Amino acid sequence: MRLARFPRYLQLLGIRYYRHHKPSETQILILLSFIVGISTGLGAVLFIWLIEQAKQLFFGYSLSYLNQFIVNWKFWIPLIPLLGGLLVGPIVYRYAREARGHGVPEVMESVALRGGIIRPRVAIAKSIASALCIGSGGSAGREGPIVQIGSTIGSIIGQMFRMSGERVKILVGCGAAAGISAVFNAPIAGVIFALEIILGDFGIRTFSPVILSSVIASVISRSILGDSPAFDIPREHALVSAYEIPLYILLGGFTAVIGKFFTKVLYFTEDLFEKLKIKGFLKPALGGLMLGIVGLFLPQVFADGYDTIELALIGGVPFLLLGILVLAKILATSLTLGSGNSGGIFAPSLFMGAVAGGFFGYLVHQLFPDATATSGAYALVGMAGVVAATTHAPITAILIIFEMTGDYQIILALMITCVFATLISRRIDGESIYTLKLSRRGVKLRSGRDVAILSSIRVKEVMNDKYVSIPHNTPLHQLLHIFEETRDDHFPVIDSKGNLLGTLSFQDLRYIATSTGLDTLVIAADIVHKHPAHVSPEDTLDEALKKIAARDIDVVPVVADDNEEKLLGLLEKSAIYSAYNRRVIDKISKA
């Protein structure tokens, strides 16, 4: 059914290799991750080329024409993002609505609810719409678009080769990692971004193909675009003294507030545009016009603002302008993305962090000139702080700033600020800028799954009440026989009154099964895990999954609400996932 969307010849192309050679699924996954890395790396190069062509079209030829034929041409600048919005609107409202906004939440939703299935047209729409938006001055970045483009490539390849839902999800993560790696020249951060944000899974089965895709995409990007860091810093920054540590903690709090304020303004603006009684495809143009008016007075807010970021990193932006640009960039980005234009939030977050950190650094350096670094160091750390605060992904924030700048000396300050920025941001609001967009649609994600669905299912609906229990006095040789006959890995152990004593797993038997002379000496009560994690029938699957994850187990006993020793059944992690998948299918079929 999944392959029905592809022409017959593509289906045959995808499965012919499998039919003739019968490789294992792991071998196929590694091969496909290689293909995803190549495809996304080339796609990223093409996407960057499209952006540059769009910039030349809008700010090269257009401004040159205005400068030649129209007096005071700069007052026509607001018409450029308006024109970009007019071109973007029909694409995102008529052709592929998934291409609206920053794109990452849509990928997260496809992984959580649709088995990683993404329509092929999304990659085309996102590429063109985002290039037009950024090229015409839209205050947006490349991260969201390339993640969506790469993820779509991974999804298409997974569907072509008829991979299982879990494998398609991994290939979607491969595409996301490859995209970040290629666009930002940051292969390590690309891997962590995919695992931390898109998949919510750091398992070795996921880790290997994602790494391969990221590395391949980076090699392709570097061979075509060059190997230099995204930002050229003339000198490395470092901690000047231990007295700076509290200041970087304060910077974490400052960037957390900025990140949360940006998130609130963005979605407030989105709500305002949703309420406007005009045609949907015209809203990006209106947002572009309003952005153009802001940019008329502060042209630094146009596009990704990398030039301004580099100036902030060397202390080249005046103090008052730094403060103004923080608020101006928040407004500009909210008008761009809130109106339905297409682009990412990563570059704007870097911009806000650089100018906010520079502002903070200027103040503390004036107060403590001998004990602190210059404002450029705080601008660099502030970039990571705002990214961590908005995405709730501190590891990604630390690594991507390190890879984009090549500045290792400041890594301690990066870690301090990012940790506190994330903690404080989560304390203010548990939703990241990505998950909040989904939460507003009724989708609450944790570790790649919809918490709202898990919270709607009770343990009693899924538990197994036809279980095999083991008496506490069962000798070792009988235990081995029970495990061999049933093929189960976990059993509850009960006492003489039938009450729950604990649990026993095959892992517990492995270390003593080979010892001689213990067959009749060791009984179940000697090796049982007493006081195990347990759930009650009225608990939700979300609560149960938290307990299972905390203990790293696969089965948990179900006990009575009023008596923790009264065993009612067993709940397996696989049963939770099966129930979740069934509910997701029902939800999609009714949509």
The CATH number of whichever domain residue 196 belongs to comes to 1.10.3080.10
Q: What is the mean pLDDT of the segment spanning 251-280? A: 94
406 in a structural domain: yes
- Are 98 and 197 in the same domain? yes
CA–CA dist 402, 356 (Å, integer) = 18
Query: Which residue from 51, 43, 62, 45 is spatially nearest to 128, judged by alpha carbons?
Result: 51
Residue 548 · residue 573 · CB < 8 Å: yes
Domain stops at, among 398, 414, 441: 441
pLDDT of residue 180: 93
pLDDT of residue 348: 94
- Are 50 and 113 in the same domain? yes
Q: What is the pTM of this model?
A: 0.77
Higher pLDDT, 502 or 171: 171
Provide the number of structural domains found in the chain: 3
- In this structure, what token pair is assigned to residue 511? 């270390």
- Are 203 and 306 in the same domain? no
pLDDT of residue 191: 94
pLDDT of residue 451: 66
pLDDT of residue 1: 36
231 in a structural domain: no
The CATH number of whichever domain residue 541 belongs to comes to 3.10.580.10
Query: Which residue from 168, 207, 169 is spatially nearest to 191, judged by alpha carbons?
Result: 207
Q: What residues make up the domain containing 561?
A: 456-590
pLDDT of residue 450: 59
- Are 405 and 342 in the same domain? yes
Q: How confident is the model at residue 2 (pLDDT cuts 50, 70, 90)?
A: very low
CA–CA dist 214, 188 (Å, integer) = 8
115 in a structural domain: yes
Q: What is the mean pLDDT of the segment spanning 226-254? A: 82
- In this structure, what token pair is assigned to residue 66? 């205005």
Which H/E stretch holds residue 563?
Answer: strand 563-572
- Are 280 and 420 in the same domain? yes
- How many contiguous H segments (helices) and E segments (strands) does the chain have? 25, 8
Domain stops at, among 393, 410, 441: 441
510 in a structural domain: yes
- pLDDT of residue 249 exceeding 90: yes
pLDDT of residue 69: 52
Residue 122 · residue 144 · CB < 8 Å: no
pLDDT of residue 3: 42
42 in a structural domain: yes
- Are 270 and 397 in the same domain? yes
- Are 280 and 422 in the same domain? yes
Poorest-confidence range of 5-14, 91-100, 455-464, 565-574? Answer: 5-14
| Tens digits of residue pLDDT in 519-575 | 566 777 777 777 778 888 888 888 888 888 777 777 888 988 888 888 888 888 888
- Are 187 and 310 in the same domain? no
Poorest-confidence range of 7-21, 82-96, 472-486, 577-591? Answer: 7-21
Residue 358 · residue 322 · CB < 8 Å: yes
